[in-house]
Chains A and B, each alone.
Chain A
Amino acid sequence: MSSESIALNPGDESTRPIGDRLHDWVTTVDHKKLGIMYILYALVFLVIGGIEASIMRIQLIVPHNHFVSPQVFNQMFTMHGTTMIFFVAMPIMFGFGNYLVPLMIGARDMAFPRLNAWSFWLAAFGGLLLYFSFIGGDGLYGAGSAPDVGWFAYAPLTARVFSVGHSTDFWTLGLLVSGIGSIGTAANIVATILCLRCPGMTLGKMPLLAWMNLVMAALVLLAISPLTAAQIMLSLDRYLGAHFFDTQAGGSAVIWMHFFWIFGHPEVYVLVIPAFAFASEIIPVFSRKPIFGYPVMVAATVTIGFVSFTVWAHHMFTVGMNSYANSFFTISTMIVGVPTGIKIFNWIGTMWGGKIQLKTPMLFCIGFLFQFLIAGLTGIMLAVAPFDWQLGNSYFVVAHFHYVIVGAILFALFGAFYYWFPKMSGRMYNETLGKWHFWLFLIGFHLTFDFMHIPGLLGMPRRIYTYEPGRGWDTWNLIITIGVLFQAAGILVFVGNLLWSRLRGPACTTDPWDAWTLEWSTSSPPPEYNFATIPVVRSRRPLWDIKHPEDPDWKYE
């Protein structure tokens, strides 16, 4: 089938004038180009967010340090969290979804290509608006410019009286704008998956990545809107004198928390479910077996989608809800852990009896498995409300969620980068550099985030620009900061590998991994129209059927 598609060799592009090529990218509605733009945008902000984290870690390397002022530190943790969630993790997942979903379901583009472009530029603008705050805003008591209210911006700290100036408004409006873009992309993904699948691809024959993007997009539609609503309310409070969160007028600070976390908890599933998707595509290929238990994987993911809306107040165990409410959210949080956790067994089941190849994408997925296990277990610990009464708002929580976001999600993302980079660029990355990236980043990750649990257990709260010596936290903070160096080195190797391979890597074939889903049936990179003829499929692994006509999947499904 590769002979049917007309490949664009990587070399062709360099003959066109640069102005033309830029214009192409800026005005494109092609899902592949938009996907790559989302990914590159996210990578830039990953580096910026990493610098913000490094500044915090240097300040915390010893107690009573004076590397930055408290005002700057408070801006750093606010911007770091906001950037990483909204301008790194979400765009990068939308980027991969945009790129891969149409290819994997045998479509030519997303359902609404112009909406796709509009959503991207809106989301991108939101990030620029947020960062403009460094120049344009004023914070707590006129202290500094970027927002410094924390990424969840609890009321009434965000009220005009406590947050003088416009820094909070940059937070609100930047996220509001990019949130609208997210809703656009989510609607696009749902419509694409439901309406543009190629003939024969029933929902039960879609790749798991498509299923998981479907659930993710549905979550975005329902979860981003509460945040949008809350931000509208906050802006009404700040500018029209409304009293939604005005405790002096009888308003409630707790209701902001409810609204925020009704968004905030499903949001973390929005981030992790695509990571599951990457693992579910990569692990089978590098184990040479189909995913173990496809129907249960689908059912578990859909279940997670629903149950994720019932757990939000486990972020609020300490606000003084009554014992029945706290018990309810304990059990619901533990319940959502079940479909999440058994996936690990499905991935192990996939590897069982296979022939595992430890190439870079698989190394990162293995890291993902180990780390997601630990992250899930610390999550269960935090679900136990009384334990959370000690650990909540401490560095234990910070360690837990970084374990999920960096240890699980970012590792799976790195796996996805290496796995699909050949498809997107037409060149193969350097395997040795890939392994260097993996080991450097693994060491740094564990130095930082394993040991970060300990100060939390020993009473260190989060969001503090300095801490008292003599509380048992000093050594651990030192080790945590050292880990940052290794992670930074790993990222440098990664970026270097991407750049070098894109420019000078060896050309690769349509199917370098001997994989089984439709994106590997067209050229690397795919032509603008994706497929010369729309494929017709009969099973979950169409390319397996072609490569093994004597033993096709559709006989067993």
Chain B
Amino acid sequence: MSSTSLASSSIESEWVLPSRGRVGMFCLIAAESAIFTIFVVAYIYYIGKSLAGPMPKDVLELPIFATICLLSSSLTIHFAVGALRNGKSGIFGIWWFVTIALGAIFLVETGREWYHLIFEKGLTINTNLFGTTYFSLVGLHAFHVTVGLIGLAIGMVLALLGKVRQEHSERADVFSLYWHFVDVVWIVVFTVVYIIGR
């Protein structure tokens, strides 16, 4: 086989293909984007169509603080990965932890908002079309944040055990793609639910 290709050695030495982790993660992001798109389309389609019950402008308040936390966590994870690429495992651990904290704050804020909506405003998933589309879209996003936090937590444990080193920076980078995706989805959800939909 190799005898036929005269330029084989030069072909082999220059043969660089994308990393499979990165491509795999992009595939996952593509599929997840499609799922979110459908939920967003449902949300937009049903704006103004609820027959009764609390309407968005009656009960929704802009979750500014939660949004700032979540979007900053993209920045902090970016710093973490950068630090790890430079071999600074300690700095990596700190930024990674801050990311977790910011993500956790976001979830707590979402929980508080939901408590307020359900117990004080009487809006649940089965109240009306707004309730259905709101809780499912925001809930789907919160589910993805949770999964991300679990992944981050596993990374934290490994970092504390000293097992995360410079050679793992590519993997951390691939994971951070997921986290950035979660943030971009939040920007879309925020715009659709709290700005357009109100």
Contact = CB atoms under 8 A, between A and B. Distances in A.
Contacts of A251: 46, 129, 132
A255 interface: yes
Interface in A215-233: 218, 221-226, 228-230, 232-233
Task: Report whether over half of chain A's contact residues are helix, strand or loop; otherwise say mixed.
Answer: helix
Contact of B20 (A196, A226, A242, A549): A196
A343 B131 CA distance: 49
B32 interface: yes
A249 B4 CA distance: 70
Nearest to A250: B51
Interface in B41-55: 42, 45-46, 49-51
Interface in B79-132: 125-126, 128-129, 132
Contacts of B140: 232
B24 interface: yes
Interface residues of B, number: 40
A191 B31 contact: no
Given A199-B8, A229-B38, A112 B128 contact: no
B30 interface: yes
Contacts, number: 137
B11 interface: yes
A188 B12 CA distance: 24
B27 A4 contact: no
Interface residues of A, number: 54
Interface stretch (A272-280, A454-462, A531-539): A531-539
Contacts of B50: 250
Given A195-B17, A222-B31, A240 B125 contact: yes
Given A249-B51, A538-B4, A222 B34 contact: yes
Interface in A240-296: 240-244, 249-252, 255, 259, 262
B120 to A, nearest CB: 20
B28 A187 contact: yes
A222 B35 CA distance: 8
A4 B5 CA distance: 17
Contacts of B19: 195
A187 B22 CA distance: 11
B1 A221 contact: no
A190 interface: yes
19 contacts: A190-B24, A192-B20, A197-B17, A225-B33, A225-B34, A226-B38, A230-B38, A241-B125, A242-B125, A242-B126, A243-B128, A244-B132, A250-B50, A250-B51, A255-B45, A259-B42, A536-B2, A538-B11, A545-B4
Given A190-B23, A226-B35, A243-B132, 19 more contacts: A111-B20, A187-B31, A199-B15, A223-B34, A226-B34, A229-B39, A232-B140, A236-B136, A240-B125, A240-B126, A243-B128, A249-B129, A250-B46, A250-B129, A533-B2, A536-B12, A538-B4, A542-B1, A546-B4
